[in-house]
Chain A
Amino acid sequence: MAAKKPLFNRQMRRISELDANIQAGLAREEAERAKQAEAEIETVDYTPEQIAALDPALFEPAGFNEEDAERTGYSNYSYWASTFKNFWRNKVARVLIIALIAVLLFAFLQPIFPGQHDPVTINNDPETGIQLMNLAPSSEYWFGTNAIGQDLWARVWAGTRVSVFIGLVVALSDLVVGVIIGMIWGYVRKVDKVMTEIYNVISNVPQTLILILVSYILRPSITTIIISMCMVGWMAMARFIRNQVVIFRDRDFNLASRCLGTSTFRIITKNLLPQMVSVIMLQTALAIPGAIGDEVFLTYIGLGLPTSQASLGNLVEAGRVLMMQKELRYQLIFPAAVVAFITIAFYIIGNAFSDAADPKNHV
């Protein structure tokens, strides 16, 4: 990742500005905390002399205010506020999420920036008319050119767009399909047994194998690759949701709700779902790098997108072929670095958020 730092000057500056603000905020928080800890709590009893010196007027009833009594235990807790506060406290995740947003924004806005090359156009030398093959990174071609003279910089961003798009669609599908099926699976007792049996059979087969098989049967294109990933991905989510639903379904608060005549839909959305936010978010966040990784893998085994379509998988694969030539290694390093950054960022952010969203970690 260090390799592309100089190219991101503007973003990096913005990030470092933001980071300075954050640091200042943190320092303030720290100071307040220290102050709070300092406040000595009186645990030493008054001496008899001190007691004797007390003003008798103090020994009068103070009056009783029920509201005051209730306030002693008043809590200004809010789930989401607490979640975000916890999340923001995690330095690594904070820096990564800013960097990730910057990178993704840039990837999608890159074509409208001035002076960008087209990812598909084959660049020829204007004088000789020969393809500008395998040019090393330069001021004109920031990431160099590939074996047929296409601008690698533009291709990397085009590939990022495609791969992230695939990832987002797959993650969304996992989320929607997985949660709905998981809820039904866990909540409707009649379905549970059948579904569990089906799951036990399917889960015996490596998911990647299913992915390979489906991709093999459907011929490669963005749509089919998304379809095959969607077919595999929802299962883990559904299984998780099912387990959680079974755990929480018969807890007393749900029985109480049901006795009060709350509809099943409301019980599911209000009582059950919030319990699972933490892991749902994690699974969804991990589905994106997962899909990107799967795409790289499928491309390697020859079931990826056609080479005309730039994607991170294609670029990594194209770079891998040239890996043995040291001077051409940049063609592997650049796309691989982007893949590495995006996947690691999603992974760490997802985990940090899931920790933060777990009510067990709230004060």
Chain B
Amino acid sequence: MLEYIAKRTLGAVVSLFIVITLIFLLLRMMPMEGYFGAEYDKLSEETRASMLAEKGLDKPVLTQLVEFYKNLLKGDLGKSWIFRPNYPIAKILEKKIPYSLKIGLISMAVSLLVGIPLGAMMARFKGKLGDKIGTAFIAIVEALPTAVLMLFVQLYFSSWFNLSLLFDKDNPSTWILPILSISLLSICTYAMWMRRYMIDNINMDYVKLARAKGVRGGRIMFLHVFKNAFVPMAQFLPGSVLSTIIGSIYVEHLYSIPGTGGLLIDVIQRQDNTMVQTLVLLYAAIGIIGMFLGDLLMALLDPRISFVKKGDDR
């Protein structure tokens, strides 16, 4: 068990290192004009060169990478170029992260608390009307492009329930739609997989044996099937952290929530390279940490885990 945790920790750290390096290098492959945004054509050759030198971009890529890591270890994320010129990115993020974190966590909690029981109920009453409606609903939510779906939510829910179209941190009712939008997709994903895993497990031999030894319906569902179905879900959880992230990028911008997701879109549109880099790294890091936590959770739930290698899961 300890060995497994150590291995996974090491794996996560290595992943983080590789991903950060890759993203850094990828961004250096961008065509030159990408560094200047819309003003590129107006600038003279010399100004461009001096601007690059000022930002340290004239040095070899490897030197830049080493610099970058040095600063990162010191907690220095660099400075914004265009969004707020020469303002430390760390300071910008400081104000933005709490919003994203709050909304993200609430959304995750909502999706878990709704999605898992929903999937379990659908499996329990498989083939009944409720299950059919649920399945159809999930199909539609899964099939519709996220962007279109969230637009619909914003457009219609706001008018049906008379909710504000924009976010206001002091007005709790304005939190409802963004959280609903972000969780909707995760709820459906959870419900769908939970239902599938439950149904898979219901048909397993051990459930037949449990029934044969006289265990009754509800007890089987909860003590035997639910737990077994939940184990692969646990591994799935971090993946949904990822989808929550993506959802929040879009939703935050849509509702003008002053969080990091909306910020990413802003800085992409304004071509602020350091900001894009930092935010992409931030999200990648959240992704890796999420996966790592999911693995730990699995190890806690499944006694087999310390014996099975990860690559051969399932």
Contacts and interface: CB of A to CB of B under 8 A. Distances in A.
Contacts of A243: 314
Interface stretch (B23-31, B43-51, B77-85): B23-31
Given A196-B311, A209-B284, A219 B276 contact: no
Interface in B5-24: 11-12, 14-15, 18-19, 23
Interface stretch (A6-14, A43-51, A123-131, A200-208): A200-208
B280 interface: yes
Contacts of A197: 311
Interface stretch (A104-112, A114-122, A340-348): A340-348
Contacts of B253: 300-301
Interface on chain B toward A: helix, strand, loop, or mixed SS?
helix
B288 interface: yes
Interface in B234-288: 242-243, 245-246, 249-250, 253, 264-265, 268-269, 276, 280, 283-284, 287-288
Nearest to B14: A201
A199 B268 CA distance: 27
Contacts of A293: 144-148
A209 B144 contact: no
Interface string B51-63: 0000000000000
Contacts of B145: 289, 292-294, 296-297, 339, 343
A184 interface: no
B127 interface: no
Interface stretch (A31-39, A55-63, A210-218): A210-218
B269 A301 contact: yes
A226 interface: no
A200 B147 contact: no
Interface residues of B, number: 48
Given A200-B11, A200-B15, A216-B268, A205 B147 contact: no
27 contacts: A196-B311, A200-B11, A200-B310, A200-B311, A201-B14, A201-B18, A202-B19, A204-B12, A205-B284, A205-B288, A206-B242, A206-B283, A206-B284, A208-B249, A216-B268, A217-B29, A289-B143, A292-B145, A294-B145, A323-B151, A324-B165, A332-B151, A336-B148, A344-B139, A347-B139, A347-B142, A348-B139
3 tightest A-B CB contacts, nearest first = A293-B145, A347-B143, A302-B269
Given A206-B283, A300-B147, 19 more contacts: A197-B311, A201-B14, A203-B291, A204-B287, A204-B291, A206-B245, A209-B284, A209-B287, A219-B34, A293-B147, A293-B148, A297-B145, A297-B250, A301-B268, A323-B155, A332-B155, A340-B148, A344-B140, A347-B143
Interface of B: 11-12, 14-15, 18-19, 23, 26-27, 29-31, 34, 139-140, 142-148, 151-152, 155, 165, 242-243, 245-246, 249-250, 253, 264-265, 268-269, 276, 280, 283-284, 287-288, 291, 310-312, 314
Interface of A: 193, 196-197, 200-206, 208-209, 212-214, 216-217, 219, 243, 246, 289, 292-294, 296-297, 300-303, 316, 320, 323-324, 329, 332, 336, 339-340, 343-344, 346-348, 351
